[in-house]
Structure 1
Amino acid sequence: MNLTTQLKEFAAASVKRHPGVAQDTMKQAIDSLVASEMIEKAFKTGDQLPDITLGNALGNEVRINEILKEHKVIIAFYRGNWCPYCNIQLRALQQAVPLFEAKGAKLVIIGPETPDNSLTTKQKNELTFEVVSDIDMIVARSMNLVYKLPTALQELYKKFGIDLATNQGNGNQELPIAATYVVEQDGTISYHFLEEDYKLRADPQDILNAL
């Protein structure tokens, strides 16, 4: 089963688990993002990746420009370990890592959570790619990928037990949109996936096709 199908099935099940007002609140937030046209300003194919240096979950510094000296880089933005859609995506990307590397590409995941909160211990031990912390979403913001959660969605997340303030180390109540990029060794973005709907992500096969 490909990632796109997995996400659709999980979303369908989620509607049954959280019907009514919850679904309306999440849909309204997505519709508001679409109406804002923020994606029009986001980095896209043909743009030059900024210089990115971030710390990973183990406290080590990761310099994407250094990786680019020897490999293409796949960058995916991750909302947090509380997001089931993100975790489904991570597992699918992990399965595709050997295929990515066979095409000369390294995978880096960028998330807004602090290093201590970015991954569970199990994930830290099982993922073979870098997961780095973009504190206060400085990198994501520079690429025009950040949005503030509407008040109604903030309240819904609290009911779900999602504590963004603790996870991210700030009270901004912001998240990155679903974004994935392939970056050539000269720093040029050669593929982009941008989506206001958090339930949709770049399928690994589409990423492979872009390499």
Structure 2
Amino acid sequence: MKNSPLSPLHFELDNATKQMEKMLTPETVTMFEQSIIQLRASGLATGLKVGTKAPDFSLKDQNGTNVTLFDYTAHGPVILLFYRGVWCPFCNITLRAYQQASELFEASGARILAISPQSPDYSTTMQTNNSITFPVLSDTGNKVASRYNIVFELSESIRNVYQSLGISLDDYNGDSSWTLPLPTTFVIDRANIIRLAYIEADYKRRLEPSKVLDMLASL
């Protein structure tokens, strides 16, 4: 978007990547990168395509309120953000960036819904830590994410690394599946059609809010 006042998201993500790599052993960094390559090769990083009708859903937000997608799209486009959880620094950075852009989105008639598999208590933490004003929804068991074809299961080796870092997904998510959604951004229009789909196997890469604003301007 021309003359956008938004700070580029990728700068913060790049800085977070550098900080993460300083904290991890070279072997762990290599393992993470190999897992991304394998995930891409698996073909799982596909998701629903542009032009597809979005599946409706109802999920509880951080306040326990039921939020239904089609109730939101009845009033304008929805920016649907699937993220991994409060434990992921890249997700925190991304949601803060979209919060920064939220007034611009609203001026375009769009609203944000963020979804992760974590329990409502952790969604509340995510909201509080990042001063989020849009709904942060809990998708227990990745049921909604599965309908959008963006769920994958972590390998045993990656599970072990996560646990060594103090990241226990069975605690955060309230189940033992060790599945996550791919970091994904959908824009869904008032007819419930997916107009933009950004699906990324690399959790360190996210869609710039300015790109979403460009899409909204074309609707």
TM category (shorter chain) comes to over 0.9
- Is contact 1:81-1:119 (8 Å) kept? no
Whether contact under 8 Å (2:115, 2:138) holds in the other structure is yes
**Shift of residue 124, structure 1, vs aligned partner:** 7.0
Q: Any conservation in 1 of the 2:62–2:127 contact (CA below 8 Å)?
A: no
- Where 2:196 maps in the other structure, the secondary structure is strand
Percent identity between matched residues is 35
How many Å separate the matches in 2 of 1:56 and 1:160? 28
Query: Cα distance, 1:171 vs. partner?
Result: 0.3
Listed as ranges, the gaps of 5+ residues in structure 2 are 1-6
TM-score under structure 1 length normalisation: 0.96
Q: Matched residues in 2 for 1:62 and 1:20: separation?
A: 42
CA drift of 1:13 comes to: 2.2
Counterpart for residue 142 of structure 1: 147
Alignment of 1:48-67 (within 5 A): 48-67=53-72
Aligned to 2:39: 33
Of 117-126 and 139-148, more deviation after overlay is shown by: 117-126
- Does 2:167 correspond to 1:162? yes
1:112 aligned to 117, 135, 145, which one? Answer: 117
Match of residue 153, structure 1, among 150, 155, 158: 158
Tell me the residue number matched to 2:16: 10
**Aligned-residue offset at 1:8:** 1.2
Inter-CA distance 153–39: structure 2 relative to 1 (3 Å threshold): same
Contact 1:57 1:124 in 2 (8 A): no
SS of the residue corresponding to residue 53 of structure 2 reads coil
Task: Determine the structure 1 residue equivalent to 2:3.
Answer: none
Alpha carbons of 1:5 and 1:125: their partners in 2 closer, same or farther (altered >3 Å)?
A: closer
1:101-157 per-residue CA deviation (whole Å, 9 max, x = no partner) reads 000000000110111122317627821101101110101011110000011110000
Q: Which amino acid aligns with 1:16?
A: K
**Separation of aligned partners in 1, 2:203 and 2:147:** 20
117-126 or 176-185, which deviates more:
117-126
Alignment-mate amino acid for residue 81 of structure 2: A
Per the alignment, residue 95 of structure 1 pairs with 100
Q: Structure 2: which amino acid aligns with 1:38?
A: L
Q: How far apart are the structure 1 equivalents of 2:26 and 2:131?
A: 37
Count residues in correspondence: 210
Q: Which digits, 9 at most, give the CA deviation of each residue in 1:132-189, with x for residues without a partner?
A: 0111010101111000001111000001100100111100001001110110000000
